[in-house]
Chain A
Amino acid sequence: MPNEILLNAFSMNAVGHQSPGLWRHPRDRSGEFNRLPFWTELARTLEAGLFDGLFLADVLGIYDVYGASPDAALRHGTQVPANDPSLLVPAMAAVTKNLGFGVTSNLSYENAFPFARRMSTLDHLSEGRIGWNVVTGYLDSAARAAGLNKQRAHDDRYAVAEEYMDVVYSLWEGSWDDDAAVRDVARGVFTDPDRVRPAVYRGRHFFARRGASFRALAPAHAGDLPGGHIAGRPGLRGPPRRMRVHVGTKRDGAEASRRRYPARRRGRS
């Protein structure tokens, strides 16, 4: 028996996505991207069709390579204007029970901590139905928007991304135990400090040291974010580097944590 076929809808918080010019079609409503009913109705349609998820693309920059100018993109509505995809999710989650949501977020221009917290918030609010499309961007215009001259070289972007993943995993996996929020009314303890430890990560590009409150209020069944990107990037060829990276990081991270936070390890209450 062959496997069941998985289906996502692929869209973007923008007018037009993969068919430039079709916004002129008399029945196209993608121009309503900035109104919630467009998205809540779409979410209901997809759930009625048992779609696995709605996968939302995103770009932070304008397509200004063609003609060395943003004019063509602006004139033809080529993925511009484009709003933040993640903010659509709570509204759509509120009108569905099972539909998944994949959100594209470019890790090149955002600190890992606020990003990880935002995704955790979406994980909680959607009750475990959020995924992350991990991307590093391809537009220099996005780098310029972030105050840089141009984006990092291609392979450097992926090296940074490897570390960024370590940082967010250390925040999501290494900080709070699932049962840390004991909510013990009798003892007056909301969170057991022994079940929380700082997420410590030290790498070439990042140094993270935060006590992050990501798991504490998650529904019992909410899990980590499924994520990944299907493009054929060179980093996927050959043996996966992550396996080796993570074996070392785990031990180093735990030792560093004990060295820096002895009091925290003993607890405070």
Chain B
Amino acid sequence: MTALKPRVADIRLAAEAGRDPAAIKIFAMATVVTGPTDARRGSQACGLSALRQSRGALTLMSGWTGVDLSTFRLDDEVRHVETDAGRTAMENITRADPSRVWTVREVAQHVGIGGIGPVFVGSGRTVADLMEAWIAETGVDGFNLAYVVAPESFEDVVEHVVPELQRRGRYKRAYAPGTLREKLGGAGPRLPSSHPASGFRSPRAHAQAAE
């Protein structure tokens, strides 16, 4: 949450220059391990963790950050380095939360299930609680749900989490009509005139879009 909240705020702030900040839909990556009860999923999560491959996790993290983590000892702290690879993963573990220091071993364990994102473990109710808490705290609109076991992870969300969110009035019961943009809350199928891309439209297309 510490890493996410200021980024969401930055994006909404940037949008204020010409667009409706709420029209930008922000999905945070998260991984869900769910089932009928908390206890059952808790024990399964342990089983899943046993299948993690630390070297695979460090291979991912090295690629994302551009830093060869094989050159560190497992108990070494990861310190910020600027490279020409991605910047987000390194920011997340070194700067997003100044009170938290990550060792290479901790990075391997965390990234091993669900990458750099959070893992929500528990019954449908527990996961729904976590989702609502994350949204309230960070201002995201929803989640990109990664899997641990495919396609079972997604089937479990459909079976246990979706009905709980629907009971709470936090999830649709039918799709909205129209294009993906319209389903996500866009006013029409085309980009709005407030979007910079509309500047490429011909005068005639502008007139049509305004109709």
Distance of B49 from chain A, by nearest CB (Å) = 10
Residues of B within 8 A of A234 (CB): 87
Q: Which of B23-57 contact A (CB under 8 A)?
A: 24-29, 31, 48, 51-53, 55-57
Contact B59 A254 (CB under 8 A): no
Distance of A250 from chain B, by nearest CB (Å) = 4
CA distance A29 to B55 in the complex (A): 21
Q: Is A131 an interface residue (CB 8 A)?
A: yes
Q: Which of B163-186 contact A (CB under 8 A)?
A: 165, 169-175, 178-184, 186
Contact B55 A28 (CB under 8 A): no
Q: A11-B150, A45-B158, A78-B60 are in contact. Are A231 and B143 (CB under 8 A)?
A: no
Contact A173 B149 (CB under 8 A): no
Contact A5 B147 (CB under 8 A): no
Q: Is A191 an interface residue (CB 8 A)?
A: no
CA distance A129 to B189 in the complex (A): 10
Q: A11-B150, A130-B180, A230-B28 are in contact. Are A20 and B60 (CB under 8 A)?
A: yes
Q: Is B2 an interface residue (CB 8 A)?
A: no
CA distance A50 to B183 in the complex (A): 11
CA distance A225 to B88 in the complex (A): 25
Residues of A within 8 A of B14 (CB): 236-240
Q: Is B79 an interface residue (CB 8 A)?
A: no
Residues of A within 8 A of B15 (CB): 240
Q: A46-B154, A223-B191 are in contact. Are A21 and B180 (CB under 8 A)?
A: no
How many residues from A make CB contacts under 8 Å with B? 105
Residues of A within 8 A of B10 (CB): 232, 236-237
**CB-nearest residue of chain A relative to B115?**
A18
Contact B181 A66 (CB under 8 A): no
Which residue in B83, B113, B135 is a CB contact (below 8 Å) of A19?
B113
Contact B112 A21 (CB under 8 A): yes
**CB-nearest residue of chain A relative to B197?**
A169
Residue of A46, A153, A249 most packed against chain B (CB within 10 A): A46
Contact A25 B52 (CB under 8 A): no
Residues of B within 8 A of A129 (CB): 179-180
Q: Is A259 an interface residue (CB 8 A)?
A: no
Contact A174 B190 (CB under 8 A): no
Which residue in B55, B59, B63, B186 is a CB contact (below 8 Å) of A226?
B186
CA distance A145 to B200 in the complex (A): 33
**CB-nearest residue of chain A relative to B201?**
A173
Contact B198 A173 (CB under 8 A): yes
Interface of B with A (CB < 8 Å)?
3, 6-7, 10-11, 14-15, 17-18, 24-29, 31, 48, 51-53, 55-60, 62-70, 83-88, 91, 111-115, 117, 131-132, 135, 141-152, 154-155, 157-158, 162, 165, 169-175, 178-184, 186, 188-191, 196-205, 208
Chain A to chain B contacts (Cβ below 8 Å), 10 pairs: A11-B146, A18-B114, A22-B48, A29-B151, A66-B69, A100-B184, A131-B180, A138-B86, A173-B201, A243-B18
- Other than the given A21-B52, A226-B180, A232-B91, 4 more pairs (CB < 8 A) read A4-B171, A17-B150, A21-B57, A21-B112
